[in-house]
């Protein structure tokens, strides 16, 4: 059984503004929260109510294996607070990243659901955040609706997350 809430992989914050970072210079390091160095942020989180939020690093912190023993491709992390669950995938790329990352999010949600009751979370969102493309010039409505139909989780493609 995979523990998606491994304490050693968690960080808590009540900051009104913070970033989630994935250090490409250290590809084996897990994603982490940062409160000061805006240049390192792949996603910017606005927490105006200063709710206590838990970030759980998944990639490079929580091992998830396929049936054949190989490591499963994992998202960067989870944000949880007040019966809310946010799946987070971070990117710093320019071209054709959305379809692959949607599949990665879908697979992680599938694995999460096999070990946890997804319906126990009142609000469920999945974020694809790309530092190189914080705003998108065209709509992904069809892909977002297909994602929701398949996973029961709303997909948001944006580098800004408002709690």
CB atoms within 10 A of CB 40: 14
Backbone torsions φ then ψ of 60, nearest 5 degrees: 65, 20
Q: Is the pLDDT of residue 96 over 70?
A: no
pLDDT digits 0-9 by tens, 4-37: 999 999 999 999 999 999 976 677 899 999 999 9
Mean pLDDT of 63-84: 92
Q: How confident is the model at residue 95 (pLDDT cuts 50, 70, 90)?
A: low
- Average pLDDT in the chain: 89
Would you list the domain boundaries of the chain?
7-162
CA 58, CA 61: separation in Å to the nearest integer? Answer: 5
Q: pTM for this structure?
A: 0.91
Q: Is the pLDDT of residue 157 over 60?
A: yes
How big is the chain by its Cα radius of gyration, in Å?
15
Nearest Cα residue to 60 out of 69, 68, 71: 71
């Amino acid at each position: 059984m995979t523990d998606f809430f491994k304490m050693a992989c968690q960080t808590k914050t009540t900051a009104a503004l913070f970033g989630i970072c994935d250090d490409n210079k250290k590809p084996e390091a897990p994603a982490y929260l940062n409160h000061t160095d805006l240049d390192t942020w792949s996603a910017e989180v606005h927490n105006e109510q200063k709710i206590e939020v838990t970030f759980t690093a998944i990639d490079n912190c929580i091992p998830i294996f396929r049936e054949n023993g190989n490591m499963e491709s994992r998202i960067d992390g989870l944000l949880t607070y007040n019966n809310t669950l946010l799946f987070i995938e971070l990117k710093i790329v320019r071209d054709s990243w959305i379809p692959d990352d949607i599949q990665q999010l879908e697979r992680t949600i599938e694995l999460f659901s096999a070990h946890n009751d997804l319906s126990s979370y009142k609000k469920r969102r999945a974020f694809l955040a790309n530092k190189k493309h914080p705003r998108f010039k065209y709509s992904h409505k069809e892909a977002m609706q297909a994602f929701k139909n398949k996973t029961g989780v709303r997909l948001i493609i944006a580098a800004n997350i408002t709690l």
